[in-house]
Amino acid sequence: MKRFSATSAQGAVLLAATLSTGLFNYLFNMGMGRLLGPTDYSVISSLFSFFLIISITIGTVQTVVAKYVADFIATGQSIWLHRLLSGSLKRMVIISAAILLILFSASPFLSRYLQIPSVIPVILVSLILVPSIVLPVTRGALQGGEKFLELGLVGFSEAFLRCVFGFPLVLAGLGVIGGLTGVLAAPVVSLILSIWLLKRSSIVPAVQDSLADSRDNPVRWGEIYRYACPVLLTLLCFTVLTNSDLIFVKHFFSSETAGYYSAAEIVGKIALFIPVGVVPILMFPKTSAQHALQKDSTSLLYKSLLATFIMSGILTVVYFYMDWLIIILLYGQKFLASSHLLGLFGVAMIFYSMVSVLVYYYLSQRQFGFLYWLAAGAVAQIILIQLFHRTPAQVICVMIACGFGLFLAILLSGVKKHISAGEIRI
């Protein structure tokens, strides 16, 4: 009973932080949509989708660090966490610098493909990657140590500071450049905050001199890299599934149509961001620790799936019945043409939020068979959007079909594996 109460309290804290973070993320997007209009807003939204795909290491690093922090704490090896975190920070600084150089070189091509008249927005998005790729190391440590209040504060600060820095620059007449400059400043401040919160927490013990030269070091970087590879592939495929559609819409349709689509997608993805921002993050360190202690955690998986379905499902019902009102309230009358897409986005996000729970669970268990299905789904969605994009609604229908198929394939293959091993528990 005490464990259930603690988990419920953690879930409530994480839900409150996720809702607050989501509120300011959407205030930023809605404000930018109103201030810039559909055409210029499509530039920011398409670049953000590209940013999410390129910066997939963000999710990889946070997941891997959270996994090993949870394992070390569960097995009584917390003294080695300082080596894990310092080594991770050094590696991510090097990776972010390499990605920055590549994107600088490719900025002319990217601006042409996305129909952006200047390379400056692409360069600004490239600069945003540097602090954004380093930040997940500290976020992962907070998640793995189950410091969900501190983790929520870091996420909230980044969303809040986007608005604080971005809106004044746009209002000053800097347009898209101003909005992206504000986005660049936010993760820098959040990184500083996360380091301070991590030092104040009890996750990482002080370094002991007697251990400085010890060879009995459980931080095996080769093993970490081998675990990071399937995590990277997982998050890459999932990000392609949930973000590549906007890039294709920006390419195939007019800037105005892409702006309408962007508005509907931003609102529709609330049905993805809220459950995924709470359920898998709360579940992952717990099921990871259970795996490290060789205990079964399938009951937690099924409870997580149910909670995710309820959260996404309620939002989707609201989308279908109040689509026009939501768009008018959030984006204004000029974006009303996007309202008919809102309910369809909600349906697609139900399936993708459930897929997210499944893949995070299997990652915590070091089971990677789902990767075949996930990669096949990502490739299939890209091909199908290339073939079927007569209307924006048709693009979303492709996402619904791929999300539904993926959920069934991963769920049934996992259930079959547990049944064959005699481990199925509900």
In tens, the pLDDT along 74-121 reads 877 777 787 788 888 888 888 888 888 888 887 788 777 777 777 887
Identify which has the larger pLDDT, 343 or 332: 343
Distance separating alpha carbons of residues 379 and 352, to the nearest angstrom? 15
Q: Identify the pLDDT of residue 406.
A: 93
Per-residue pLDDT averaged across 363-370, rounded?
86
Q: Identify the pLDDT of residue 313.
A: 92
Q: Does position 20 have pLDDT exceeding 70, yes or no?
A: yes
pLDDT band at residue 1 using 50, 70 and 90 as cut-offs: very low
Domain ranges of the chain: 2-209+218-420
> How many CB atoms sit inside 10 A of residue 84's CB?
25
pLDDT band at residue 379 using 50, 70 and 90 as cut-offs: very high
Q: Does position 348 have pLDDT exceeding 50, yes or no?
A: yes
Q: Identify the pLDDT of residue 49.
A: 67
Distance separating alpha carbons of residues 124 and 82, to the nearest angstrom? 32
Q: Does position 272 have pLDDT exceeding 70, yes or no?
A: yes
pLDDT band at residue 29 using 50, 70 and 90 as cut-offs: confident
Q: Encoding tokens for residue 313?
A: 């499902």
Q: Amino acid identity of 253?
A: F
Residue 245 class from Cβ within 10 Å (0-12 exposed, 13-18 middle, 19+ buried)?
Answer: buried
Write the pLDDT tens digit of every residue in 123-137. Answer: 887 788 788 888 888
- Highest mean pLDDT: which range of 22-31, 146-155, 164-173, 383-392: 383-392
φ/ψ of residue 104, rounded to 5:
-60, -45
Identify which has the larger pLDDT, 89 or 204: 89
Among 96-110, 316-330, 341-355, the least confident range: 96-110
Q: Does position 349 have pLDDT exceeding 60, yes or no?
A: yes
Identify which has the larger pLDDT, 103 or 348: 348
Q: Identify the pLDDT of residue 58.
A: 66
Per-residue pLDDT averaged across 281-295, rounded?
81
**Whole-model pTM?**
0.69
Q: Identify the pLDDT of residue 409.
A: 92
Identify which has the larger pLDDT, 156 or 208: 156
Go through the chain and tell me how many residues it has. 426
Q: Which of 114, 101, 144 is nearest to 284 (CA)?
A: 144
Per-residue pLDDT averaged across 290-312, rounded?
86
Positive or negative: CA dihedral 110, 114, 116, 117: positive
Q: Does position 264 have pLDDT exceeding 90, yes or no?
A: no
Per-residue pLDDT averaged across 341-360, rounded?
92
pLDDT band at residue 417 using 50, 70 and 90 as cut-offs: low
Residue 133 to residues 140, 197, 297, Cα–Cα distance (Å): 12, 18, 31
Q: Identify the pLDDT of residue 158.
A: 86
Per-residue pLDDT averaged across 198-217, rounded?
59
Q: Does position 30 have pLDDT exceeding 80, yes or no?
A: no
Q: Identify the pLDDT of residue 375.
A: 92
| Mean pLDDT across the chain | 80
Q: Does position 422 have pLDDT exceeding 50, yes or no?
A: no
Give first-to-last CA distance, the chain, whole Å. 19
Share above pLDDT 90 across residues of the chain, in percent, rounded to a whole number: 14
Distance separating alpha carbons of residues 343 and 334, to the nearest angstrom? 19
Per-residue pLDDT averaged across 320-334, rounded?
84
pLDDT band at residue 320 using 50, 70 and 90 as cut-offs: very high
pLDDT band at residue 203 using 50, 70 and 90 as cut-offs: confident
Q: Does position 209 have pLDDT exceeding 70, yes or no?
A: no
